[in-house]
Structure 1
């Protein structure tokens, strides 16, 4: 099984290598076919997908053929979803991606409540995406095309309300506060691989969907978008307060995802190059950070036998290396330089200032509260008297340490991939959007 695992890692690395090297160029790359299209944004998300699947294979001590099949199937679906060029195929793949995660939760979930968690996830995401299917069919009837990039050339003034309604599917998948109830339940009950891929990639499907719809919503009512941004930002602030009240490690990490995704929504709909760049960087940074936090939470669970803060104390006294890993991931999660998390949150500040001074104050409050709950997360686990429930005879495996390093390295080394190149991409995308708006609606 070990030999097979390393063969699979090499294969996944081979899949990611062309994407990795293509991102080192500062020029904007765009390849389009009838069914697929590739640009720097979806290629980054494809690279994130392959890297997370590769890390799951590395850190999972025992992986049955069925478990491995679900991960590889999900990887294929996600890569296809990020690269598709038509709305209908995107919707189909968007929904199919739920099936492997649901099977993971039901089959390898930790508690009897896993059935309820799976039901919540399906109910929220499937029912919320029904308006999206109706809108896609409505768009095809009116424009006779489902090509995402061709739709940018059409006048969508008469479809603003349906298009705004279609955002519901992506807001539930992201998710934002109010539509978030399924996320903590799914994370708490999911196995290690399920939590990692759910936090790192599946949530990014919602962000990528919002990015695609934003290219079509160039004529949308600014009042509606401002209301949406305000709800998301205030929801993010409430979610950060909820993080401070959690007693379950995985639940706190899950709520922190809601906080970061609210900032992504504001960046995407700010219609500025700074905001768009911030949203892309934040999605990538959150992918590696949240996956790493869930992985180290799983390692802690294996040592303690519980996810409760009350039983996980004093880790620093007997396992300083694991405590250092907790510290590294927590400071990255609170966006400390030189991580790309810091770059993403820093660049959203001018975008929020252009939108509203009130939103800037909410954003600053979110940043400070993020520092608070991350410090609380670290101190509750690593400081204080050593817990009697901590199995001191157990040790952290080399695969776990390798997995933690694999999450931390991209957050630092991606800075070498020319952030200026990403900035060029976002400027060009914003210029395309604004030029089309001027040509079609002035």
Structure 2
């Protein structure tokens, strides 16, 4: 699979055909599904790379998001640097897939940092406003500041076990400093409330492709890293996770309230990502099997759902040249078929049954109550305010008086296909829920 992706990158400047690469990504998805025997436990190990249950779903999510991202970046296809954009996308997808495949902590760290470089190139090269430079600096310095101590911690662990492989690493330290250094790197990427300031800035300034990758994949790197390292720092997690739990549980409520005062459509979806990833972190911090599985399911559900919402927001932005709720109104009269997809994705985002988010949140709630009995009050608040901002997003954009007097094009077949594929993939993952 890695050879397949590398060959795609090598051929990109020889064959100037946009949809060939999208087709090849679709083929990669089918190959991965057909080659794996889903009835058996996963242990496909080759040198420093391997695939198991945890990485399988996230690799699938990566291929789905990149496939849909290429479809949604149709306007870039007609630019002079379109092949450069495609090559950056493929490099970024390769780095993220290698990160999920890594069995070696050092390799994992390298791909974790390399993905940042290509993400910043995409943000600076194809962002919207000049403020994208500031957003790029936020993203760069947050990541650098958090990941250098993490690198030193990896070297410190190596001095004990003389190995970088996950199976050989173990740390029985009770030190809060070690726990914080390890968590800080992944909490910035997750992101946790307090460390989240880079996310809304990067989302708002990024192109639709950048927003889909940031929401669908880059946030999942933090969650995946915590799951992997949780078993190495087991004692440190048991003793110190209540501190992170406290910040996250209060931060999720505050971020849900912040969503309700947003006037920018992309800003609201970006802040809703912080709120949902906060729930994922709560499931992980509870240190139980239900919490871990619930967080994993919610990560996959949120990845596809938020990607779809950013895509729908871009469909409106490309026609009305605005993302403001005060300008985008009455779209149910103008694009009624897209309204159905808005309704479905907003419903999935607010965790209506039988969505993936609903199943994940039920498992997370049960683990939170076991960890701390009064957690359910905070969970009710997050869930209620989450439903409020999803209803607010849907009603403000679809209902009301249409503001624009000039005519413009209605939906294209490509846009309906992208919207349908987001919903279809969410339904497919619900049907495959027995995998988890």
- Partner in structure 2 of residue 429 of structure 1: none
Distance in 2, Cα, partners of 1:93 & 1:221 = 25
Distance in 2, Cα, partners of 1:351 & 1:300 = 39
Question: Which of 410, 413, 421 pairs up with 1:406?
Answer: 421
Q: Does the residue aligned with 2:235 lie in a helix, a strand or coil?
A: coil
> C-alpha offsets along residues 57-84 of structure 1, whole Å, 9 cap, x if unaligned?
1222133001101100001111101101
Which segments of structure 1 move beyond 6 Å, counting only runs of 4 or more?
Answer: none
**Is the alpha carbon distance of 1:29 and 1:274 closer, same or farther for their aligned partners in structure 2, counting shifts above 3 Å?**
same
Distance in 1, Cα, partners of 2:291 & 2:214 = 24
Q: Does the residue aligned with 1:157 lie in a helix, a strand or coil?
A: coil
> C-alpha offsets along residues 329-357 of structure 1, whole Å, 9 cap, x if unaligned?
10110011221111111111110110112
- Partner in structure 1 of residue 289 of structure 2: 273
**Is the alpha carbon distance of 1:23 and 1:201 closer, same or farther for their aligned partners in structure 2, counting shifts above 3 Å?**
farther
Distance in 2, Cα, partners of 1:306 & 1:166 = 40
Does residue 30 in structure 1 map to residue 30 in structure 2? no
- Partner in structure 2 of residue 42 of structure 1: 55
Contact residue 29 and residue 40 of structure 1 kept, 8 A: yes
Quote the offset at 1:143 in angstroms. 1.4
Contact residue 110 and residue 190 of structure 1 kept, 8 A: yes
Distance in 1, Cα, partners of 2:70 & 2:168 = 39
Distance in 1, Cα, partners of 2:116 & 2:337 = 36
Does residue 128 in structure 1 map to residue 143 in structure 2? no
Quote the offset at 1:415 in angstroms. 2.2
**Is the alpha carbon distance of 1:384 and 1:155 closer, same or farther for their aligned partners in structure 2, counting shifts above 3 Å?**
closer
Quote the offset at 1:160 in angstroms. 5.8
Distance in 1, Cα, partners of 2:165 & 2:23 = 35
Question: Which of 416, 428, 439 pairs up with 2:431?
Answer: 416
- Partner in structure 2 of residue 351 of structure 1: 367
Distance in 2, Cα, partners of 1:345 & 1:172 = 22
Contact residue 196 and residue 295 of structure 1 kept, 8 A: yes
- Partner in structure 1 of residue 381 of structure 2: 365
Unaligned regions of 5+ residues in structure 1, if any? Answer: 423-442
The equivalences for 1:162-241 within 5 A come to: 162-220=178-236, 222-241=238-257
Quote the offset at 1:10 in angstroms. 1.9
Does residue 85 in structure 1 map to residue 103 in structure 2? yes
> C-alpha offsets along residues 192-217 of structure 1, whole Å, 9 cap, x if unaligned?
11110111001100111111111112
Distance in 1, Cα, partners of 2:424 & 2:228 = 29
Contact residue 135 and residue 163 of structure 1 kept, 8 A: no
Distance in 1, Cα, partners of 2:308 & 2:412 = 15
Does residue 112 in structure 1 map to residue 130 in structure 2? yes
Deviates more, 1:22-31 or 1:352-361: 22-31
Higher RCO structure (Cα 8 Å, ≥6 apart): 1
Distance in 2, Cα, partners of 1:329 & 1:24 = 31
- Partner in structure 2 of residue 74 of structure 1: 92
Quote the offset at 1:3 in angstroms. 8.8
**TM-score normalized by structure 1?**
0.91
**TM-score normalized by structure 2?**
0.92
Quote the offset at 1:223 in angstroms. 4.3
Quote the offset at 1:406 in angstroms. 1.1
Contact residue 72 and residue 208 of structure 2 kept, 8 A: no
Q: Does the residue aligned with 2:98 lie in a helix, a strand or coil?
A: helix
